[in-house]
């Protein structure tokens, strides 16, 4: 069976590209809920219902393990899913924990008490739903103390990226960084808390300045998944790569091809 990769739209393709490169012998099934994107402006119950419906589709397609390559879904739905919804024999993982472990320099699976870390001032750029959930701060508190997190809700960036409007996306990023700096003038690190944002990483870095360490998720998730699969080898098997969408397959395929710079063919979910 394949490993499922889920996102509300196409941002999760940044994660798919990284994990497929890191794990070339693993097959992946990607599900884009394009008909309901973006999730970042929806309330938590709505995100939960949409996420569980999409993950159930991936289970139906033979995926025993699904990565929520969507920070909004990871923030608003993952814990609730893991506590009361995920069927026996299935696993659903998010994208926050690998990022936080990299930021706090903790090894995967380190469950020791929270401790002080080198970075004290962290900027978080994320969708409105992720910011309002405070999921990043909650997960960080399990691993670190004394870290000041200033969150900036980045409205409009995902829409601009999905529409292929790079000029608007870059302008919005610069505006949101300016707004963040008015609240936290000197961040030491910045978290790109949306899988779309790595496509704008150079713009974020330029606006923040060279002294700010910018963390995005794709490669970190790939390393964590590789470690997870070593410990759970039965979670993968044979099967071919596949792409599914709730949107218009032709339009989504064209946009995904622009994202990955290789032809991608989506089929109806």
Q: Annotated active-site positions, please?
A: 70, 194
CB within 8 Å of 39: residues ≥ 6 apart:
8, 33, 47, 50, 51, 70, 72, 73, 76, 127, 129
Helix axes 218-231, 96-104, angle to 10 degrees: 100
Q: Where are the alpha helices (DSSP H) in the chain?
A: 13-22, 44-60, 71-76, 78-84, 96-104, 128-133, 135-141, 157-162, 166-183, 201-208, 218-231, 249-260
**Lookup: tokens for 45:** 């119950």
Q: What span, in angstroms and rounded, lies between the C-alpha atoms of 2 and 81? A: 20
Residues composing the chain = 269
What is the number of helices (H) and of strands (E) in the chain? 12, 12
Give the bridge partners for 115, in sequence order: 144
Radius of gyration of the chain (CA): 18
Q: Are 142 and 158 in contact (CB under 8 A)?
A: no
d(C-alpha 256, C-alpha 30), whole Å? 11
8 secondary structure, DSSP code: S
Distance, in Å, from the CA atom of 170 to the CA atom of 203, rounded to the nearest integer, reads 6
Task: List the structure tokens of 120.
Answer: 């004290």
């Amino acid at each position: 069976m394949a490993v499922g990769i889920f996102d509300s739209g196409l941002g999760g393709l940044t994660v798919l590209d990284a994990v497929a490169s890191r794990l070339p012998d693993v097959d992946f099934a990607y599900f884009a809920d394009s008909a309901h994107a973006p999730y970042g402006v929806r309330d938590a119950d709505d995100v939960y219902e949409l996420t569980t419906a999409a993950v159930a589709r991936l289970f139906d397609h033979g995926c025993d393990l699904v990565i929520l390559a969507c920070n909004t879904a990871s923030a608003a739905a993952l814990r609730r899913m893991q506590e009361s919804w995920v069927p026996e024999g299935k696993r659903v993982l998010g994208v926050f924990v690998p990022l936080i472990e990299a930021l706090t320099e903790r090894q995967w699976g380190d469950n020791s008490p929270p401790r002080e870390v080198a970075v004290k001032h962290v900027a978080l750029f994320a969708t409105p739903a992720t910011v309002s959930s405070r999921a990043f701060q909650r997960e960080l508190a399990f691993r670190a103390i004394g870290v000041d997190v200033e969150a900036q809700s980045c409205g409009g960036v995902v829409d601009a990226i999905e529409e292929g409007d790079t000029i608007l996306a870059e302008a919005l990023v610069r505006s949101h960084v300016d707004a963040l700096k008015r609240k936290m003038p000197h961040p030491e690190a910045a978290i790109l808390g949306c899988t779309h944002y790595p496509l704008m990483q150079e713009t974020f870095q330029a606006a923040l300045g060279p002294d700010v360490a910018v963390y995005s998720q794709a490669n970190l998730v790939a390393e964590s998944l590789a470690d997870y699969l070593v410990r759970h080898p039965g979670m993968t098997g044979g099967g071919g790569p596949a792409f599914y969408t709730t949107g218009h397959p032709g339009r989504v395929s064209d946009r995904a091809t622009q994202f990955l710079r290789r032809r991608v063919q989506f089929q109806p979910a």
